[in-house]
Amino acid sequence: MSATRFAAEPGEDARAVPVRLLVVQEEERPAVDASAEPQVMTFPHLLIRELCAFLALSLLLVVLSLLFDGPLEEIANPEKTPNPAKAPWYFLGLQELLHYYPPLISGVILPTLVIFSLVVVPYAHVNVTRAPFAAGSPAERRRKLGWLWLATAALTLVFLFTGAHAVWPVIGPLWFCALLATVPFLSDAKRGVIGLLARRSLPFWVYFWFLLVATALTLVGVFFRGPGWAFTLPWRDGVYH
């Protein structure tokens, strides 16, 4: 990315090849912070904080372990399929997706796409400065708003009609994010909640959507699914696991 203006190779053994060379390389290295901002000694200031954090987590987990016992059911029996057969909570988002799409899409393509997107996030040099999404000239703003709702409409159609059922845990958060992202286009307020929304960048909105979708899918899978993966209400039918 950055060209080397002048590079020279020093010998391996400085005594055998006594050459001194000045090397000016335009290599990008993060500078050790040279600003005049306040610093403290790592020992004790950081170490004591780390110790406290470690002890707090340990205490929490020890107390949890004393109060709540992990589940242990009957011995595994391939002949007897439980209904519903639920994975641990962090997989229930994926399992919920299985309800809408065949395993190839929900279990392979979508997770791969998510991991792939996460990996390329820093390399796709889109908006590296994380400029506010709502920034720009009036013409630019109109164009961005148009794209936002075009994308929202397209994604809504995809998730309404491509699955075995309409994928509401994806569409709901999509509209929530799109509406929030639209607010700064309607008002020029610089402060308060609107100001907060106005400073958010496009990457923020995309990740926020991802976060809400993951949460919604997981919550539905954990609390609102019963036998045959049918919709249940936890306060009426209890929580199945």
Binding positions for other proteins, 101-120, rule CB under 8 A? 102-104, 106-108, 115, 118-119
How many residues touch other proteins under the rule CB under 8 A: the total is 76
138-197: contacts with other proteins (CB under 8 A): none
Distances (CA, A) of 133 to 83, 178, 180: 46, 12, 12
The reply on whether position 71 binds other proteins by CB under 8 A is: yes
Q: Which one of 2, 33, 137, 236 is in contact with other proteins (CB under 8 A)?
A: 33
Say if residues 133 and 180 touch (Cβ distance below 8 Å): no
The reply on whether position 136 binds other proteins by CB under 8 A is: no
Say if residues 83 and 228 touch (Cβ distance below 8 Å): yes
Q: Which is nearer to other proteins, 43 or 161 (CB)?
A: 43
Q: For the CB of residue 167, give the shortest distance to other proteins in the complex, in Å.
A: 18
Q: For the CB of residue 118, give the shortest distance to other proteins in the complex, in Å.
A: 5
Q: Which is nearer to other proteins, 19 or 36 (CB)?
A: 36
Count of C-beta atoms within a 10 Å radius of residue 109: 13
Q: For the CB of residue 81, give the shortest distance to other proteins in the complex, in Å.
A: 7
The reply on whether position 62 binds other proteins by CB under 8 A is: yes
The reply on whether position 9 binds other proteins by CB under 8 A is: no
Distance, first Cα to last Cα, the chain = 52
Distance CA 173, CA 219 (A): 13
Say if residues 206 and 180 touch (Cβ distance below 8 Å): no
Distance CA 214, CA 212 (A): 5
Q: For the CB of residue 206, give the shortest distance to other proteins in the complex, in Å.
A: 10
The reply on whether position 2 binds other proteins by CB under 8 A is: no
Q: Which residue type sits at 110?
A: L
Q: Which is nearer to other proteins, 19 or 41 (CB)?
A: 41
Binding piece for other proteins, criterion CB under 8 A, among 51-59, 154-162, 179-187, 229-237: 51-59
Identify the helix (H) or strand (E) that includes residue 122: none
Identify the helix (H) or strand (E) that includes residue 190: none
Q: Which one of 7, 8, 59, 128 is in contact with other proteins (CB under 8 A)?
A: 128
Please compute, for residue 55, the number of CA atoms within 13 A of its CA located in the half-sphere on the CB side.
6
75-104: contacts with other proteins (CB under 8 A): 75-78, 80-82, 85-91, 94-95, 98, 102-104
C-alpha dihedral (8, 13, 15, 17), degrees to nearest 10: -40
What is the number of residues in the chain? Answer: 241
The reply on whether position 218 binds other proteins by CB under 8 A is: no
Q: For the CB of residue 139, give the shortest distance to other proteins in the complex, in Å.
A: 23
